Structure 1
């Protein structure tokens, strides 16, 4: 039984909004932040929906992100670039062609109600909620919408997609020994979270996709909002519900338990050409040898459902047999799904089903596509006649909601998730530090670092009581990690950051050209089969004229004011290119761009530069923007105002 009373409160609110706004309601965004932009490399061709983001740990993701009227948040052309860069792969690695929620099946245990929220209600259009600073701690993307509500056409642009970079806890750690003085390699992980928020009657759902710096994609659906209204969903039946709230004297009402069965459609796009689905099963061949467990992989050539009685150890991956990593292994992604599945419905019973990609097979059930009207995943599997070479995974992620007193308004978010984890997609983990870059094929067997890494910077010293022309400055080489081969060192003295011709020894004699300038020394380290490295000392200001310095050791320079240069390319979506530079070289750290209506974008500089995409609505209105640089060890904070249009920056 499927009724429409879930929609009534929202219908009343929207009807009032339409009546107040007239036949055409135009809602301007209260605040939407720019999509993270990258360099001028060729894009994905999806215009303003393109997202490119480099995480603080160095790995990067790019994709097209949009809101579909029915499916809600949709990601397409998802690509990954590891932090290890050219040491692993020089360019973007294709992973996913498309990923979205294909159905949310919500049957109530009483048997009175069952809903298909995606095709019955939709996660876009008027159900989509605008992001604000409380919902979205990062940047937002504007979503343009036009939809019919009854006889009325509604049009609006709202900040509908949230982009947030998050700390994800310990990324990795490796210690040479238990001795605290031994080499240690530690890094905190980073992730990009892309989300949207939808209200379907009393429930509010956050669609969230988290992309880690290791290449893992975690897909989640969070349910919050409020419990269903008591006049419809609280029954006097303890077998199908749970007592909620204060118990009346005459009877007890029980909030009806129900399932949230999320079915996701994952269209893999690992490289180019045909792909394969491999199933791995494990057995204990001899009960007398319980420690021995054997695994076998089987290429599944036909569309199939996961067995209903599949062993918990069974797992699946999608691989490209012709696209190999540098070690010669086929690149693949593994489906990691520890969620439960609703066993009472053929659609949601299998943990995963696989078909080929067909354009008409958009939804997991009650398909709205005219090419496959009303069909469901079991129909797609049964109808498939071609070998499984362009695989689509239909992943079931179930959650059985047994309400409790703590779920009363506002209900804490409860989550159902699965992950797509890289398996041999790279030869090493994506953020492998240079010090461990030569470790491959097993545990660490040799002592020492694979790269020349400075631990303590070189220093400039002098035995003279004052520094003036003719003073002899000396340098040490600093402290370096122990490497697998002995390091050789080369010095280069610098004047205001530029090499001093012929001055590459341990000592440097101050000349007239050095007066009033800042001197430093760079030490370059290299060894056989070791990645070279360099380190530069703090700068020493040489006094000009007859006022000698009495400081025998170089001191860190005073922070100075940088120059903020703002330019705007004349083609494509409005973009603001910001460059931070000064006498100390390029700036580092973060800056914030703010505009009218609460719009903001916080970005991290890369080589002193960042590109911020600006919503078209702000460019069209010739909005004034404020760029504030937060400063770093060399530069003071700085601020600059500008007016942006589609073609010019003033």
Structure 2
């Protein structure tokens, strides 16, 4: 029975894809290890894990491939699992994520009158997930079982979209530079909670990057008005002040790059010294070996790295977190960390107000109890403080919040480059490929 058919709890598949020998062999592809014949096995595993209706496999125009499983959770909505990437020169698919999904959406009002937890109190699946219809989908529509009593609806939109210039380089010919347009594989669902309609979107780029986004549209609540210091004037005159509010979203990102993954933090800071023309900065690495709540700082970033999975340059593969713009909601301790890293546990499903019966009522603060991490999960919080404006009526234009998962040494070179730029790798060659 495929995952998008209705299942009893006992029949549901395991929530974690364990790395078997074939999967480890796949992760080692490109290292020179003689394990290539087994590399196709994880593709079969993924097909069996997904079922016929829950597999997405697409080749983008530049030759890159993405393959993944998907299903709809009654609470968290769209869930992607076993997400794998293959550049046009790669011998096999390489796993990137075991799973990714929303884990909470906290919506408090500046007036203090209301605060909602849209994921745990309502949900993005079930009756809250909208069927795709008309101009809300640019591509193919896929159906899924969305929750008890809801049956199957066409809720997933799968499309390929041009994203603009992927790279440009003035080459040997002044009239014909190296240039290429990029493309994304876009997966999207829509959930209606109250007056808002939320777009859960994942953009999987042909260079291996994953853009994780939550869009908000729909309408402003027609009766949520307050005072000038807690809202913004909407409509004629200065009488109706639509209340300011937060969209504080959490995602749960379960990495699957390889066995025995590690978390590293990098900080670049000035030394107080100057070189010939500029200040001297140095970058230091810190291993995050145990569970921890962390916050951004100038020139700070994190990556999840698999030391035993190496690219053709013999560098360990990793993915970097790029959090971008975000506003923290300071009123709750659990909404303060920008990112929390924890060891994977099946019962730790929601960022706050956890509803799994094995660890009910817990949050990311409870999950960070000092356990050593070999299978890290990132809980990423991106906050957006929404001060309404006249243009939000009606319907409201989509406003977005989210983050990026950026490949770092996942490939030895840019997966999209032309063949005659392949010799340009490291300091041993010049721009013409001459040693």
Instruction: Give the TM-score category using the shorter length.
Output: 0.7 to 0.9
Correspondences of 1:336-351 after superposition (within 5 Å): 336-344=322-330, 345-351=332-338
Task: Quote the residue 2:80 is aligned against.
Answer: 75
Take 1:297 and 1:442, find their aligned partners in 2: how far apart are those partners?
A: 24
Q: Using the alignment, how far apart are the partners of 1:145 and 1:114 within structure 2?
A: 26
Contact persistence 2:348–2:367 (CA under 8 A): yes
- Structure with more contact order per residue of length (Cα contacts < 8 Å, sep ≥ 6): 2
Q: How do 1:4-23 and structure 2 match up within 5 A? A: none
Q: What residue is the counterpart of 1:530 in the other structure?
A: none
1:127-155 superposed Cα distances (whole Å, 9 cap, x missing partner): 111112311110011112452xxxxxx34
Q: Which residue of 2 aligns with 1:42?
A: 44
Asked whether 1:208 is paired with 2:201, we answer: yes
Which runs of 5 or more structure 1 residues have no equivalent in the other structure?
1-39, 148-153, 449-483, 486-650
Q: Equivalent residues in 2 for 1:463-478 (5 A)? A: none
Residue 277 (structure 1) aligns with: 263
**Residues 293-308 of structure 1: matches in 2 within 5 Å?**
293-307=281-295
Report the equivalent of 1:242: 232
- 1:287 is displaced (CA, Å) by 4.8
**Among candidates 241, 259, 282, match of residue 246 of structure 2:** 259
Cα deviations across residues 62-101 of structure 1 (Å, max 9, x unaligned)? 000111111001000000000123xxxx101110001000
String of CA shifts for 1:471-509, please: whole Å, max 9, x gaps. xxxxxxxxxxxxx79xxxxxxxxxxxxxxxxxxxxxxxx
Give the distance between the partners of 2:328 and 2:297, measured in 1 at CA: 17
C-alpha separation between the residues in 2 aligned to 1:258 and 1:275?
38
Deviation at 1:156, TM superposition (A): 2.8
2:73, 2:147 within 8 Å by CA — same for their partners in 1?
A: no
Partners of 1:69 and 1:125 in 2: CA distance: 5
How far 1:176 sits from its partner (Å)? 2.0
C-alpha separation between the residues in 2 aligned to 1:197 and 1:111? 28
Q: TM-score, normalising length from structure 1? A: 0.58
Structure 1 residue matching 2:130: 3-state secondary structure: coil
Q: How many residues align?
A: 389
Structure 1 partner of 2:180: 187
2:12 is aligned to none
Residue 344 of structure 2 corresponds to which residue in structure 1? 357
Counterpart among 66, 77, 90 of residue 61 in structure 1: 66
The match for 2:3 is none
1:288 shift after superposition: 5.0
- State the secondary structure of the residue aligned to 1:286: strand
What are the superposed Cα offsets for residues 303-331 of structure 1, whole Å, 9 maximum, x if unpaired? 11114xx4221000000111111211110
Could you say what secondary structure the match of 1:119 adopts?
helix
User: Once the 2 structures are TM-superposed, how far is the Cα of residue 296 of structure 1 from its aligned partner?
Assistant: 0.5
Q: Distance in 2 between the 1:84 and 1:420 partners?
A: 21
Gaps of 5+ in 2: 1-41
The equivalent residue for 1:318 is 304
Q: Partners of 1:324 and 1:429 in 2: how far apart? A: 15
Match of 1:169?
A: 164
Cross-structure match for 1:217: 210
CA distance in 1, matches of 2:421, 2:428: 11
CA contact (8 A) 1:210 1:218 kept: yes
Equivalent residue in structure 1 for 2:320, among 334, 339, 348: 334
C-alpha separation in 2, matches of 1:314 and 1:146: 40
Structure 1 residues 188 and 442: alpha-carbon distance in aligned structure 2, compared to 1, 3 A threshold: farther
In the alignment, which residue of structure 2 is the partner of 1:396? 381
- 1:291 Cα deviation (Å)? 1.8
Tell me by how many angstroms 1:443 deviates: 8.7
Q: Secondary structure at the match of 2:134?
A: coil
**Is the radius of gyration larger for structure 1 or structure 2?**
1
| TM-fit CA distance, 1:432 | 2.1
Give RMSD over aligned pairs: 2.0
What residue number does 1:124 align with? 125
CA apart distance, 1:185: 1.9
Shift of 1:53: 0.6
Q: What is the TM-score of this pair, normalised by structure 2?
A: 0.86
- CA distance in 1 between partners of 2:345 and 2:43 (Å): 31
